[in-house]
Structure 1
Amino acid sequence: MESPLALYRRYRPETFAEVIGQEHVTEPLRAALAGNRVNHAYLFSGPRGCGKTTSARILARSLNCEQAPVADPCGECESCRDLARGGPGSIDVIEIDAASHGGVDDARDLREKAFFAPVKSRYKVYIIDEAHMVTTQGFNALLKLVEEPPPHLRFIFATTEPDKVIPTIRSRTHHYPFRLIPPRLLSSYLSELCEQEGVAIEPTALPLVVRAGAGSARDTLSVLDQLLGGAGSDGVTYQLASGLLGYTPDTLLDDVVDAFAAGDGAAVFGVVDKVIETGQDPRRFTEDLLRRLRDLVIVSAVPDAPATGLIDVSHDQGERLVAQSARFGRAELTRAADLVAAGLTEMRGATAPRLLLELICARVLLPAADHGTDGVLARLDRLERRMAIAGPASSESAPAPVSAAAPPPTPAPVAPAERDPAQEPSAPEPVLSSEPPAVVPPEPEEPAAAAPAPTPAAAPTPAAAPAPTGSLSLVDVRRLWPDVIAATQRKRRVTWIHLTQNSQVVGFDGTTLTLGFNNAGARGSFESGSAEVLQEAIREVVGAEWRVEAILDPGASAGTSPPPDPAASPPPAPEHDSVPPEPEPEPEPPTPRRPRMADIQADAEAEPPHDPDEAVDLDDADVDAESGAELLARELGAQVIEEIPHR
């Protein structure tokens, strides 16, 4: 049993109507054939596999058709059958490979035979393939014949390098430049061929085949023929095409692009390591990454590029490209593409391609180290993204404090000032319990009548800081976290080491950032001055005041892990003692400011730790005077229904 012919031979066009992607050539040729205005010499030039030799055969077939002049051969006469696919050929149509017959002796032999009349056809047609291989002496030997041929003689030169054909020959021919076939046209053509062959092909695999063919119909059909030969019962799948053609899977490209967007260096270098461990070529990965960045640049400028066909990708991949481009700025994308393109050029002939790939990734991850225009624009893009995240929250939350703060301020200071046990503070008490303890002490100093006056001026002040971060989710915080870590590196290296090696973000509620540490020693060292550095970095990067809380278990909920060291003992004492409006008789717990961690540790080393509750008087008059209902309302935010007296 004979093996079937290759696809590019089985589906070679027999008419100009079947030639795809070359309408700018086929239509004028059909018009010339139909009007009997055919020239004596033609020059077909263009990339390989785009239809030059095939078009030359179709032209010769049309010239010798019994129904000529005609735009397309009839396919029924003897000459058309001889020159059809699989036909025996015609003695009057001579194909010469100039790569092996381009010398002056070959040209002289052709010149001697050309004057003989055709055997049974109207014209004797010479198709000289790879015409640029003809020597200068050979062209000079043919010059007179090409300039003034006998009436029965026609020349068709086909070449990929028309500049190497001497000008005297080019000036005596009609030049038709062929082009590469557009990807979308090739994709639809391949789909039709697969239907005719009865083999299924996944839509995501078609772009890989078209890309491997590089616009050449013959090369594309050769790639498809290889995939069809190795296809199983499922047909040509994406996994088969990507593995056989050596392209980087989309999952790896998605991972590295997402890591670039988040500034996650560990994920980026993890992808590089996976590329090496799976045996892929770093150069091919860099080329595929550059192509992905190019697609993202186009999508960033034209968001509907995948839908309109400006980028030849599947529907699912188009949605991923739109989502990924939204996480970058245009300056960031162009800078990354420039860096990858420059690195790809450096990889040519490099002995350590992995090292160069890692250096490329490091440059993309560090726009702050680039003091040029591209680096500055990339940093501006990051700032604009942060403002876009924080902007809607500030506009939405700005009117809320004004409208919500207008009714409560009047009853809020009255309830703690009167301290009347008979009066049930049902409405104002939940408001007081929801406020932080630091807000309670200044309120009793203001009179009740003056409460509405400072309310409009004081309301925006506490709301200004948390307003931009009120709508930030944990995902947004983690997205901004690499920039915060970079800011701490410039301030204190110890803090940067703790944040990169010993901790991770485990929770965020809008005002409190919870960090989980993997050991108690790292947590204690962080609280010894690094928390203030982190807060300064947060103010610099995010522009907000966040309270930083360190816990031991990274998986624990925020605020549930009790502090193990004595340095955390002062905060609970003001929490209990600052709730009543009257100052406590004990001088130790209330302090005008929160002591610094360094001072606390110095005191802890100077004297042994003491019990913070030993100075608490169980017979405190203020505690006894406070009813259970007030304690429930203050501590739990509960509202106790007044008891109905029974007579």
Structure 2
Amino acid sequence: MDSPLALYRRYRPETFAEVIGQEHVTEPLRAALAGNRVNHAYLFSGPRGCGKTTSARILARALNCERAPIADPCGECESCRDLARNGPGSIDVIEIDAASHGGVDDARDLREKAFFAPVKSRYKVYIIDEAHMVTTQGFNALLKLVEEPPPHLRFIFATTEPEKVIPTIRSRTHHYPFRLIPPRLLTSYLTELCDREGVSIEAAALPLVVRAGAGSARDTLSVLDQLLGGAGPQGVTYELASGLLGYTPDTLLDDVVSAFASGDGSAVFGVVDKVIETGQDPRRFTEDLLRRLRDLVILSAVPDAAASGLLDVSGDQADRLVAQAAAFGRAELTRAADLVAAGLTDMRGATAPRLLLELICARILLPAADHTTEGVMARLDRLERRASISGTTSAESAPVAAPVAPAQDRPAPSRAERAAPERTEDRPAPAPAPAASPVAEPEPVAQTPVVQTPSAPTPVAPTPVERPVEPEPEPAPEPVAAAPTPAAPAPAAAAPSGGLTLVDIRRLWPAVIDRVKGVKRVTWIHLTQNSQVVGFDNNVIALGFQSDGPRRSFESGGHSDIVQQAVIDEIGAKVRIDAIIDPSAVPGGTPPPAAPAAPAAQQAPAAPAADARAAAPADDGWASAPPPSDDPPPWAVPGDQAPPADAAPSEPTPRRPRMADIQAREGELADAPPEDPDAHARFDDADVDAESSAELLARELGAQMIEEIPRGG
């Protein structure tokens, strides 16, 4: 049994009504045939497989139909049956392939035979296919015949390159340009043909067939014929179509697009390696990636493009494309598509297409290295997405002017000012009187170190030097009413600053650490093993270190700038990094609670100064010392330990008040130039030599020198 004809031959149109996608040509021809206004020469031009030769045959059938003038051939007369789809052909309709008969001798032979009358038809019709292959001498030989043919002669030229037909011939013909068939029309036409053939085809496979046909009806039917021939019991599936046609599977495209959206270079280059390992063509993969990016660009501009038919994709694929487009910004998608398009052009004729593909992926993953307008817009899109994670817009995430000047703009505090907040904590709290009331708080200002002590002893605390200026505190109703308010500063670490909170910073901190890891390994080690985020206020991130050594190494190594840039890239906020000492910080562990714990001196009800002196035990060993006050003792040098309770002097000796000692040195400290807060951890020898031995013993031990015995005596 003979094998069936090819699909494009079995379903070749026999009337103009059956020609699809060429209504702009078929309708005027039908009108001319019906009105008997047919010209003696026609020129049909257009891409291959769009219906030029088929329309020329239909026109010849209509011209020689016994019922002419008629728009469509009747199909019943002898001439229509001879020129039918499976007919023997007519002697009066001559088809010439100009690719092999385009010389001047062939043109002269045609001119000699053209003057003979038709055998049994009304017209003798010459259909010259591939007319652009006729030489200039051949066209010149036909020029007089085409210009003034005999009444029974008609010419139909069909070509894909009408510009190669000499102008003298084109000017003597009616030119009808054919076009490519729209994809949606081809899709419906293929579905109808599959129903006629009795073979099922998946909806996801139809776009691949249409894409392979590239708008040509003949090429599309040839591809479909190949798939139908290899289809199994399940019909034409997506896997069969993508495998035979050589297209990239949607799973690979989904993986690489998702990796681009998340900035995962490992996943991107893993997909490239899989493309090479599976034997696929890198050029075809790049072309498919460009087409996918084109679909995403359209979806980002027209969210309902899939539903409205603007994109010819299946339902489940449309949902995936919508989700992928939402993960990008428009500028990012446009930039990625431009890079892929430029790379695809460079791949033509390249000897290392994989290398070019990897370079394209690297450029897409690094918008920061692109200083063009597209690169800047892509970075802005990424920053806006980072800011949206914390629930703020790009305008809100911009740094706002804080009412308090940043720490780097304030003058460096003196040694006494730096020591004051720490002395209050290091000094053992006196035993409060049982009957003391919390209302009798001497100074509301003394509660300010509560915010600073758990996180870090930073210079942000108000200077305690101003407190001696105040007279003896008296319990007044106004300060008493304001005293309970310090319960609110507990969540100060989570107060919003520029739209971000401490909770947001800690939630996004792992991403910052990952970015730092790719920049500098030492900085990453500091962040993961030595420090922890302990505070965030006024666009300042406080990193707590358990000891001073790692903190100094962090500051001196320029790691703050690296962390600051990583925060800008990942979070989209311009902040300052402040390294502090915080013994409560647990590097690499659970973050400390947002509300700092109050010191021991504040947890117990405070008593007035007179009551505290009365309640102090007589045999304490320090009974002769001045009563404890809110002012830090002079011996509470940063880093030193307070003297033990049992280290009492041998005999009670009156000693100078501790605050007076600070006031005595205030002028000297004020005249000194500002110094680095971390330049010294304790007083050096110069400070000790500046005082006499008697003053030093009186201040440190509370002793009185009776007699100084000279050396050698």
1:576, CA displacement in angstroms?
Answer: 8.3
The equivalent of 2:549 in structure 1 is none
**Matches of 1:476 and 1:561, distance apart in 2:** 15
Query: Is the alpha carbon distance of 1:581 and 1:350 closer, same or farther for their aligned partners in structure 2, counting shifts above 3 Å?
Result: same
**Matches of 1:277 and 1:33, distance apart in 2:** 59
The equivalent of 1:201 in structure 2 is 201
Query: Is the alpha carbon distance of 1:32 and 1:396 closer, same or farther for their aligned partners in structure 2, counting shifts above 3 Å?
Result: same
The equivalent of 1:260 in structure 2 is 260
Q: Secondary structure at the match of 1:449?
A: helix
1:452, CA displacement in angstroms?
Answer: 7.7
Query: Is the alpha carbon distance of 1:248 and 1:22 closer, same or farther for their aligned partners in structure 2, counting shifts above 3 Å?
Result: same
1:485, CA displacement in angstroms?
Answer: 3.6
**Matches of 2:525 and 2:454, distance apart in 1:** 32
Q: Decide whether the 8 Å contact of 2:182 with 2:215 is kept in 1.
A: yes
The equivalent of 1:280 in structure 2 is 280
The equivalent of 1:438 in structure 2 is 454
Q: Decide whether the 8 Å contact of 1:465 with 1:544 is kept in 2.
A: no
> 1:112-148 CA distances to partner (integer Å, 9 max, x unpaired)?
1111111111111110000011111111111111111
**Matches of 1:529 and 1:9, distance apart in 2:** 78
Q: Decide whether the 8 Å contact of 2:494 with 2:501 is kept in 1.
A: no
The equivalent of 2:496 in structure 1 is 464
The equivalent of 2:482 in structure 1 is 450
**Counterparts in 2 of 1:162-173, with a 5 A limit?**
162-173=162-173
**Matches of 2:433 and 2:395, distance apart in 1:** 38
The equivalent of 1:323 in structure 2 is 323
Q: Decide whether the 8 Å contact of 2:516 with 2:566 is kept in 1.
A: no
**Counterparts in 2 of 1:433-582, with a 5 A limit?**
438=454, 449-450=481-482, 462-465=494-497, 468=500, 484-485=515-516, 489=519, 492-495=520-523, 536-537=564-565, 539-541=567-569, 542=571, 543=573, 578=599, 581=602
Q: Secondary structure at the match of 1:128?
A: strand
**Matches of 1:498 and 1:226, distance apart in 2:** 63
1:540, CA displacement in angstroms?
Answer: 2.9
Q: Which stretch shifts more, 310-319 or 10-19?
A: 310-319
**Matches of 2:142 and 2:211, distance apart in 1:** 40
Query: Is the alpha carbon distance of 1:152 and 1:358 closer, same or farther for their aligned partners in structure 2, counting shifts above 3 Å?
Result: same
1:233, CA displacement in angstroms?
Answer: 0.9
**Matches of 2:85 and 2:137, distance apart in 1:** 35
Could you tell me the TM-score, scaled by structure 2's length?
Answer: 0.65
Query: Is the alpha carbon distance of 1:392 and 1:83 closer, same or farther for their aligned partners in structure 2, counting shifts above 3 Å?
Result: same
Q: Decide whether the 8 Å contact of 1:52 with 1:178 is kept in 2.
A: yes
Aligned partner letter, 2:366: L
> 1:492-528 CA distances to partner (integer Å, 9 max, x unpaired)?
45336999xx99xxx9xx99x9xxxxxxxxxxx9999
Q: Decide whether the 8 Å contact of 1:393 with 1:471 is kept in 2.
A: no
The equivalent of 1:36 in structure 2 is 36
1:384, CA displacement in angstroms?
Answer: 2.2
**Matches of 2:117 and 2:513, distance apart in 1:** 84
- The structure where helix makes up a greater share of residues is 1
Q: Decide whether the 8 Å contact of 2:181 with 2:217 is kept in 1.
A: yes
Q: Secondary structure at the match of 2:49?
A: coil
The equivalent of 2:5 in structure 1 is 5
Q: Is 1:376 aligned to residue 376 of structure 2?
A: yes
1:293, CA displacement in angstroms?
Answer: 1.3
**Counterparts in 2 of 1:42-121, with a 5 A limit?**
42-121=42-121
1:316, CA displacement in angstroms?
Answer: 1.8
Q: Decide whether the 8 Å contact of 2:495 with 2:501 is kept in 1.
A: no
Q: Decide whether the 8 Å contact of 1:577 with 1:589 is kept in 2.
A: no
Aligned partner letter, 1:463: A
Query: Is the alpha carbon distance of 1:155 and 1:365 closer, same or farther for their aligned partners in structure 2, counting shifts above 3 Å?
Result: same
The equivalent of 1:522 in structure 2 is none
Q: Secondary structure at the match of 2:175?
A: strand
Q: Is 1:351 aligned to residue 372 of structure 2?
A: no
Could you tell me the TM-score, scaled by structure 1's length?
Answer: 0.72
1:390, CA displacement in angstroms?
Answer: 3.1
Q: Decide whether the 8 Å contact of 2:336 with 2:364 is kept in 1.
A: yes
Matched residue pairs, number? 536
> 1:351-401 CA distances to partner (integer Å, 9 max, x unpaired)?
11111111111111111111222222221221222233334499999xxxx
Aligned partner letter, 1:51: G
Query: Is the alpha carbon distance of 1:372 and 1:537 closer, same or farther for their aligned partners in structure 2, counting shifts above 3 Å?
Result: closer
Query: Is the alpha carbon distance of 1:238 and 1:339 closer, same or farther for their aligned partners in structure 2, counting shifts above 3 Å?
Result: same
1:589, CA displacement in angstroms?
Answer: 9.8
**Matches of 1:172 and 1:461, distance apart in 2:** 87
1:536, CA displacement in angstroms?
Answer: 3.2
Query: Is the alpha carbon distance of 1:265 and 1:562 closer, same or farther for their aligned partners in structure 2, counting shifts above 3 Å?
Result: closer
**Matches of 2:506 and 2:240, distance apart in 1:** 39
1:169, CA displacement in angstroms?
Answer: 0.6
**Matches of 1:41 and 1:219, distance apart in 2:** 28
Query: Is the alpha carbon distance of 1:69 and 1:354 closer, same or farther for their aligned partners in structure 2, counting shifts above 3 Å?
Result: same
Query: Is the alpha carbon distance of 1:341 and 1:579 closer, same or farther for their aligned partners in structure 2, counting shifts above 3 Å?
Result: farther
Query: Is the alpha carbon distance of 1:395 and 1:52 closer, same or farther for their aligned partners in structure 2, counting shifts above 3 Å?
Result: closer
Q: Decide whether the 8 Å contact of 2:106 with 2:138 is kept in 1.
A: yes
Q: Decide whether the 8 Å contact of 2:490 with 2:596 is kept in 1.
A: no
Aligned partner letter, 1:235: G
**Matches of 2:562 and 2:167, distance apart in 1:** 73
The alignment's C-alpha RMSD in Å is 4.7
**Matches of 1:560 and 1:37, distance apart in 2:** 92
Q: Decide whether the 8 Å contact of 1:538 with 1:544 is kept in 2.
A: no
> 1:39-93 CA distances to partner (integer Å, 9 max, x unpaired)?
1110000000000000000111111111111111111111111111111111111
Query: Is the alpha carbon distance of 1:64 and 1:393 closer, same or farther for their aligned partners in structure 2, counting shifts above 3 Å?
Result: closer
> 1:542-585 CA distances to partner (integer Å, 9 max, x unpaired)?
2388999xxxxxxxxxx89869xxxx9xx99x988946636999
Query: Is the alpha carbon distance of 1:455 and 1:371 closer, same or farther for their aligned partners in structure 2, counting shifts above 3 Å?
Result: farther
Q: Secondary structure at the match of 2:95?
A: strand
1:287, CA displacement in angstroms?
Answer: 1.0
The equivalent of 1:251 in structure 2 is 251
**Counterparts in 2 of 1:419-438, with a 5 A limit?**
438=454
Aligned partner letter, 2:272: V
Aligned partner letter, 2:99: A
The equivalent of 1:14 in structure 2 is 14
- Name structure 1 gaps, 5 residues minimum: 398-416, 424-434, 514-524, 549-558, 601-647
Q: Secondary structure at the match of 1:438?
A: coil
Greater C-alpha radius of gyration: 2
Q: Secondary structure at the match of 1:112?
A: helix
Q: Decide whether the 8 Å contact of 1:390 with 1:471 is kept in 2.
A: no
**Matches of 1:497 and 1:340, distance apart in 2:** 37
Q: Which stretch shifts more, 366-375 or 199-208?
A: 366-375
1:186, CA displacement in angstroms?
Answer: 0.7
**Matches of 2:599 and 2:94, distance apart in 1:** 106
Query: Is the alpha carbon distance of 1:288 and 1:475 closer, same or farther for their aligned partners in structure 2, counting shifts above 3 Å?
Result: farther
